[in-house]
A and B are shown apart, each in its own frame.
Chain A
Amino acid sequence: MNKRWLELSVGLMMVAGLAALVALALQVSGGNMSRNAEHYAISALFENAAGLGPKAKVTMAGVIVGEVVAVGIDPHTLMAEVHMKINSQVNYISIDSSASILTAGLLGEKYIGLTVGAEDDVLVAGDVIEDTQSALVLEELISQFLLNVGDNK
């Protein structure tokens, strides 16, 4: 009897532990797994990629379709070259699409928004988006504003 109780309590602990792990997977992480799903790589050249880093989201119409892999300088154009990986299910981004660096909220994180163009040809792995809009740098905006105010006098 005593031995049975011991086995029962050990069994209950193990069930509780595994159940807690399952609950952590479902309830806490919402089934979010960084799956190594199929991706294809594209890149984009920005004049200014301030604040953008690896793992930043890439969105299309507000939906996350991929993430930034790396940000570097393109040695030929001296522009910021942003490498991204896009979910392979999203294989209908036309080649004249544009990419812009957006900010979530006023002080939030930077992410890339893709605006799809009209062409029938689509972006494939290794393509570069040329039509880009750079990150909004608050200091530049303020100095521009001050300059304008000075001119109007």
Chain B
Amino acid sequence: MINLIADLGAGLLTRLVQIGQALLMLLQAIFVQPKASSLPRLMQQLFVVGVQSLIIMLVSALFIGMVLGLQGYTLLSAYGSEQAVGQMVALTLVRELSPVVAALLFAGRAGSALTAEIGLMKATEQLASLEMFGIDPLHRIVAPRFWAGMISLPLLVAIFSLVGIYGGHLVAVDWLGVYSGSYWGNMQQAVDFNEDVLNGMIKALVFAFLISWIALYQGYSCVPTSQGISAATTRTVVYSSLAILGFDFILTALMFGGAV
């Protein structure tokens, strides 16, 4: 019994130590003196993390928008108010679906790759050799990847929302015959830039922070074996997804919950 409680305490302490290590790693990586020579590395990472995630984002945004348009139309036409489909599609996407789905895809597409890459660097002792040369791997490896995530996810979310809204337009207006003017008009009346679009962007920033942090820490602290890397990659996706969904609820409650 006492052993059990001691195990519990030990588990908690290890977790706390891990969180502390992750925090230290992050602080060291974020507060880097930006140098002109580090710009190409940031570019490289923006390409890997951002541009290469673009296709999956575009395709999923289009399909999600089309599904929302279709479902919204069937549901709303039962009440004779299918004009409101634009408003429904836009608010659902901008407030919730774009940040969350884009972040989940980003965790699967970019986060796992980051973990695997850094884990492999650790396993092949590239990180150790960098340190031998007197180059801090946190500055050289972790920082550009972190900032690339922070920059690209909000941009991807904005693109996601827009493509999704046009996907809804495609189904609702072009196929099902909702009047285009009421699709956009109702949407413009209902969507508020500060309250809806910017809050969605804040969510995207928070998710980008969480994903980059988790992915980089998992890679940096993984057991440098092939099993260790695969376990760390899995943990990245699982932890990121849980963190995204959990924080999404908290952020939604803070942003939209206190209205009444």
Q: Which residues of A contact B (CB under 8 A)?
A: 3, 6-7, 9-10, 12-14, 16-18, 20-21, 23-25, 27-34, 53-55
Let me know if A33 and B193 touch, CB within 8 A.
yes
CB of B236 to closest CB in A, whole Å: 23
Nearest A-chain residue to B54, judged by Cβ = A13
CB of A18 to closest CB in B, whole Å: 7
Nearest A-chain residue to B81, judged by Cβ = A105
Of the listed stretches B29-37, B67-75, B123-131, B153-161, name the one at the interface; the rest are far from the partner chain: B153-161
Let me know if B260 and A28 touch, CB within 8 A.
no
User: Which of A10, A20, A53 lies in contact with B159, CB distance below 8 A?
Assistant: A20
Indicate if B253 sits at the interface (CB-CB under 8 A).
no
- Distance A13 CA – B44 CA, assembled complex (angstroms): 13
Indicate if B7 sits at the interface (CB-CB under 8 A).
no
What residues of chain A lie closer than 8 Å to B249, measured between beta carbons?
none
- Distance A34 CA – B155 CA, assembled complex (angstroms): 23
What residues of chain A lie closer than 8 Å to B197, measured between beta carbons?
21, 24-25, 28-29
Let me know if B162 and A24 touch, CB within 8 A.
yes
What residues of chain A lie closer than 8 Å to B90, measured between beta carbons?
28
Nearest B-chain residue to A3, judged by Cβ = B40
Can you list 8 residue pairs at the A/B interface with Cβ under 8 Å? Answer: A13-B152, A17-B154, A18-B155, A20-B163, A24-B161, A28-B187, A31-B193, A32-B188
Total interface residues in chain B, CB < 8 Å = 35
What residues of chain A lie closer than 8 Å to B154, measured between beta carbons?
17
- Distance A16 CA – B157 CA, assembled complex (angstroms): 11
What residues of chain A lie closer than 8 Å to B44, measured between beta carbons?
6
User: Which of B46, B162, B201 lies in contact with A13, CB distance below 8 A?
Assistant: B46
Tell me the number of A-to-B contacts counted with CB atoms below 8 Å. 88
What residues of chain A lie closer than 8 Å to B156, measured between beta carbons?
17
What residues of chain B lie closer than 8 Å to A14, measured between beta carbons?
46, 151, 155
What residues of chain B lie closer than 8 Å to A31, measured between beta carbons?
193
What residues of chain A lie closer than 8 Å to B191, measured between beta carbons?
28-30, 32
Let me know if B189 and A30 touch, CB within 8 A.
yes
The prevalent SS among residues of A at the interface is helix
- Distance A9 CA – B194 CA, assembled complex (angstroms): 29
Let me know if A20 and B162 touch, CB within 8 A.
yes
- Distance A99 CA – B83 CA, assembled complex (angstroms): 30
Indicate if B254 sits at the interface (CB-CB under 8 A).
no
- Distance A34 CA – B151 CA, assembled complex (angstroms): 26
- Distance A100 CA – B166 CA, assembled complex (angstroms): 40
Nearest B-chain residue to A105, judged by Cβ = B81
Indicate if B144 sits at the interface (CB-CB under 8 A).
no
What residues of chain B lie closer than 8 Å to A29, measured between beta carbons?
188, 191-193, 196-197
- Distance A27 CA – B50 CA, assembled complex (angstroms): 25
User: Which of A10, A23, A24, A32 lies in contact with B51, CB distance below 8 A?
Assistant: A10
Let me know if A10 and B193 touch, CB within 8 A.
no
What residues of chain B lie closer than 8 Å to A16, measured between beta carbons?
155, 159
- Distance A148 CA – B179 CA, assembled complex (angstroms): 45
CB of A4 to closest CB in B, whole Å: 11
- Distance A140 CA – B44 CA, assembled complex (angstroms): 69
- Distance A21 CA – B156 CA, assembled complex (angstroms): 10
Indicate if B116 sits at the interface (CB-CB under 8 A).
no
What residues of chain A lie closer than 8 Å to B165, measured between beta carbons?
28
Let me know if A30 and B188 touch, CB within 8 A.
yes
User: Which of A9, A10, A33 lies in contact with B192, CB distance below 8 A?
Assistant: A33
Nearest B-chain residue to A55, judged by Cβ = B259
- Distance A32 CA – B161 CA, assembled complex (angstroms): 17
What residues of chain A lie closer than 8 Å to B192, measured between beta carbons?
29, 32-34
